[in-house]
Chain A
Amino acid sequence: MKLTFPHMGNAYVSVKVLLDTLGLDYYLPPIGSRDSFERGIANSPEFMCLPFKTVLGDFIQGLEHGADTILFGGGCGQCRLSYYGDLQQEILRGMGYRFNYIPLDFKRLTYDEFMNKLGPVLDGAQKARLIPAVTAGVRTVFAVDGLYRQACRVRCREKSAGETDGVMRRFEREVRAARGYPKTRDAIRRARRALAGIRTDEALDPVKIGIVGEIFLSSDPFTNLEIEQKLGDMGALAVNTMSVSEWIRKHFVGALLPVRPKDRAVRAAQPYMHTDDIGGHGIYTIGNAELMSRRGFDGIIQVYPFTCMPEIIAQSALGEIERKNGVPVMTLILDEMTAETGYVTRLEAFVDMLQMKKERESVRRRGRIRTGAKS
């Protein structure tokens, strides 16, 4: 048996740890491959959202390279992600592939869920390793996301441009080759140390931009055209509210807790949406945008794939949030037709605007503004 699984940002690092610890054979689809992307698009319905297309592309790539079992998820809810599996299986079988499909329930990722779904393909010794493997996988998720957050903090302040990107590229190369939890953990630690060693300009006060939106796109650099990196290179501090760890926190850690604590973001969204669920992470988009606007962020960027249903609802509230808090909000909608140059132009214009706004406000605060004075 050979497994394959789709990419979602840096999630592959933890899935690798999980499968390596279990001792399962798998095929890791190439990261950011144009070829899988194109094949996914060619075989997907036109108005399906972008994640569907990239996930399908990864499956095709995996099945072409000898995988016979797909590890993905499904479930229930108002987001189409829950129903991907049904259609993707049909499309792939229609293309002539034969495979076994393991759908994890995305809404309740508990140890039991892993045991129920993965159990049948594991032998006795592997079954015994399942709990440590899942635990190692989950720990990796948080470690990797911590690293990427650190990279965002360093990147916008680095003294010689491109150093952070260099460290991260090296990390990605290393971690792809690393097998098992200890090696992966070491790679993460090395990268964290390397990031800490980068010379930064601590006096710099970069504009702070919060990223909200659909979770797949927000956390996947290939489909969001490396928004964190691009903003960092423009000298802006990007704070991404959506990440794989956020998702695990909600669906894995959340499922372990007997009572679900009321989420701060959901509470903050209430004045705009009088409900706790509009599908996907729509309510978090609204709540986080509101929270960050109140907490001194200079701007908010919402990213989502074209036709994403929950985010369209969320977008209708963002205008109101912008008006109320005076913090600019920009929505970027991506699909396979998005041209990178136009995207960069919009990001640059947004960052420039925020920087000028920030400067003007700080000058005004210092009371140095005089009529007719040159700026």
Chain B
Amino acid sequence: MKRTSGSAPRAAGTPTVGLPEGLMFFEHRQLWEDFFRRLGCRTVRSGRTTNRILNRGVELCCNETCLPVKAFAGHAASLLGKTDFLFVPRYASVCPCERACPKLCGLPDEVRLSLKDRIRPLEVAVDLGRNPAKTRESLGRLARELGRSREEAEDAFSGAVRAGLTAADSPNASPAPGRRGGPVVAVLGHPYMIFDELLSMGLIGKLRAAGCRVLTPYDLKRSERRRNAQPFLGREFFETGLDILGGARIFLGMPELAGMIYLTPFACGVDSLVTEFVERRLRGGRWVPFLKITVDEQSGEAGFDTRLEAFLDMLPHAARQRRESV
């Protein structure tokens, strides 16, 4: 089986591994970088999502796939020929009660198929909840391909990754809170949607520029999010769904919350359930302006901005300002 495309000459000691910066890497980038550092590899990131990357992904993937997966395939394609290996983890479950979206379970294959078998990605099957043996097995394969021993790979995994997958704080979540004093706007969505500047059309930046303080579920402690993830408390559900449900419930309990935005990629299966639960909580409880924006590769930024402006005008804070200025 081919390992690399265009085979960049392999440096004898330090192979390079490409990390496509999409999907799970928004949360776990540092973990995997540390993992490969421990294995004596150099990692190369694909960088921010650009229009070129996204368009490439859209060309490569089957058209029913969701926007972030398309972007991910574009990132993977942009790394072709630049590194010795391409790394695409296969997330199935990080702990017993949490499932990954099916698209993450098939991601390495999806990438390989959409790149027409030009590269066979290195993978680690993260299936800690259901079948840890599979994780060990995949680490063994990865070690073989990198020319390392199985023990080295397992040590690197337990040292660098395992604990971080379920750590209390999201390692890569945007740390900088917006300006103090502004209206608090909660932004809900998958980390790879809301933190990707291109896919989210700079949503968080725009809110901050408008003077809002932005909160996302990933600013909260993981354990807190889980404690509030109704109605799936202690029961199995999609991991990102638990994050968002828990986050939404906590934000709704914050008196200073001025508004809530849910950013979802078109036809997202997990969000179809989660948005409904969030909307029902809103309808049944406190009155908070709520904006659900659906985006895909055909969304125009002007329309997006218009909706965002209309939403900002609706916030109680803006209304007060308007009254004062009249």
Measuring CB to CB, which residues of chain A are less than 8 angstroms from any residue of chain B?
45-49, 76-80, 82-83, 86-87, 90, 94, 272-275, 277-280, 282, 306-310, 312-313, 315-317, 319-320, 333
A47 touches B268 (CB 8 A): yes
Q: Shortest beta-carbon distance, B199 to chain A, in Å?
A: 17
Assuming the A-B contacts A78-B102, A272-B109, A320-B113, are A312 and B65 also in contact, with contact meaning beta carbons closer than 8 angstroms in the complex?
yes
Contact for A87 among B110, B125, B273, CB less than 8 A: B273
Can you list 24 A-B contacts with CB-CB less than 8 angstroms, sorted by A residue number? Answer: A47-B271, A49-B272, A78-B100, A78-B101, A78-B238, A80-B273, A83-B237, A87-B276, A87-B277, A275-B90, A275-B92, A307-B269, A308-B269, A309-B102, A309-B103, A310-B102, A313-B103, A313-B105, A315-B64, A316-B109, A316-B113, A317-B109, A319-B62, A320-B113
Which residues does chain A contribute within 8 Å of B271, judged by CB atoms?
A: 47
B151 at the interface (CB under 8 A from A): no
Interchain CB contact under 8 A, B272 and A47: yes
Can you name the residue of chain A whose Cβ is closest to the Cβ of B61?
A: A316
Contact pattern, B 90-115, Cβ under 8 Å of A = 1, otherwise 0: 10100000011111011011100110
Q: Does B231 contact A (CB under 8 A)?
A: yes
What count of chain B residues pass the 8 Å CB interface test? 39
Within 8 A of A (CB), among B57-97: 61-62, 64-66, 90, 92
In the complex, residue of chain A having the shortest beta-carbon distance to the beta carbon of B294: A47
Known A87-B273, A275-B105, A316-B62: A47·B267 in contact at CB below 8 Å? yes
Q: Does B200 contact A (CB under 8 A)?
A: no
What chain A residues lie within 8 Å of B311 (beta carbons)?
A: none
Q: How far is the CB of A154 from chain B (nearest CB, A)?
A: 35
Most chain A CB within a 10 A radius of its CB, from B110, B123, B275, B284: B110
Q: Is B272 touching A272 in the complex (CB atoms < 8 A)?
A: no
**Chain A proximity of B163: nearest CB distance (Å):** 24
Q: Could you tell me which B residues sit within 8 Å of A by CB distance?
A: 61-62, 64-66, 90, 92, 99-103, 105-106, 108-110, 113-114, 123, 125, 231-232, 235-238, 267-273, 275-277, 280, 284
In the complex the two chains form, what is the Cα distance from A48 to B113 in whole Å? 27
| A333 and B64 in contact, given A78-B105, A273-B106, A278-B105 (Cβ under 8 angstroms) | yes
* Beta-carbon nearest neighbor of B107 in chain A: A313
Task: Provide the residues of chain A in CB contact with B92, threshold 8 Å.
Answer: 275, 277
Name the A residues within 8 Å of B238 (CB-CB): 78
Q: CA of A312 to CA of B238 in the docked complex: distance in angstroms?
A: 17
Contact partners of B109 in chain A: CB under 8 A: 272-275, 313, 316-317
- Taking CB as reference atom, which chain B residue is nearest A317? B113
Which one, B113, B125, B237, contacts A319 given CB within 8 A?
A: B113
Chain B residues with CB below 8 A from A48, complex form: 272-273, 276
Closest residue of B by beta carbon distance from A82: B236
Give 17 A-B pairs besides A307-B272, A312-B103 with Cβ atoms closer than 8 angstroms: A46-B272, A77-B99, A78-B102, A79-B102, A83-B273, A87-B277, A275-B106, A278-B106, A279-B102, A307-B268, A308-B269, A312-B65, A313-B102, A313-B105, A316-B113, A319-B113, A333-B64
A311 to B4, CA, bound (A): 29
Query: Which residues of A have CB within 8 Å of B235?
Result: 76
Contacts of B66 in A (CB 8 A): 312
State how many angstroms separate the Cβ of A163 from the closest Cβ of chain B: 38
* Residue pair A282, B102 in contact (C-beta under 8 Å): yes
Q: Which residues of A contact B273 (CB under 8 A)?
A: 45, 48, 80, 83, 87
Cβ contacts under 8 Å, B90 to chain A: 275
Give B166 Cβ to nearest chain A Cβ, in Å. Answer: 18
**Are A76's CB and B236's CB within 8 A?**
yes
Q: Tell me, in angstroms, the Cα distance from A274 to B112 when the chains sit together.
A: 11
Q: Which residue of A lies closest to B277 (CB)?
A: A87
When the two chains form the complex, which single residue of B102, B108, B232 contacts A280, counting CB atoms closer than 8 Å? Answer: B102
Contact, CB under 8 Å: A78 / B113: no
Choose one: B99, B232, B272; the contact of A45 (CB below 8 Å): B272
CB-nearest residue of chain A relative to B138?
A274
A264 to chain B, nearest CB (A): 19
**Which residues in B have their C-beta under 8 angstroms from that of A83?**
232, 237, 273
Cα A79 to Cα B100 in complex, Å, equals 11
Query: Please, which residues of chain B bring their CB within 8 A of the CB of A49?
Result: 269, 272
Pick from B123, B231, B269: contact of A80, CB below 8 A: B269
Question: Given that A45-B275, A47-B267, A47-B271 are contacting pairs, would A90 and B110 also be in contact in the complex, using a CB cutoff of 8 Å?
Answer: no
**B110 A316 Cβ-Cβ under 8 A:** yes
| A316 neighbours in B (Cβ, 8 Å) | 61-62, 65, 106, 109-110, 113-114
* Min C-beta distance of B296 to chain A, whole Å: 12
Distance between B40 CB and nearest chain A CB, rounded to angstroms: 25
Q: Which 5 A-B pairs have the closest CB atoms?
A: A279-B102, A47-B272, A313-B106, A76-B236, A309-B269
Once bound together, how far apart are the Cα atoms of A312 and B102, in whole Å?
A: 9
A323 to chain B, nearest CB (A): 9
Complex contact B125–A272 (CB within 8 A): no
Residues on A with beta carbons closer than 8 Å to the beta carbon of B275 = 45
Q: Say whether A277 contacts B105, CB under 8 Å.
A: yes
Q: How far is the CB of B231 from chain A (nearest CB, A)?
A: 5
> Which residues of chain B have C-beta atoms less than 8 A from A274's C-beta?
108-109, 123
> Shortest Cβ distance from A169 into chain B, in angstroms?
35
In Å, the complex CA distance between A87 and B245 comes to 13
* A313 close to B100 (CB less than 8 A): no
A94 cross-chain contacts in B, Cβ below 8 A: 280, 284
A82, A94, A275 pick with most chain B CB within 10 angstroms: A275
Q: Which residue of A lies closest to B123 (CB)?
A: A274
- Chain A hits for B65, CB < 8 A: 312, 316
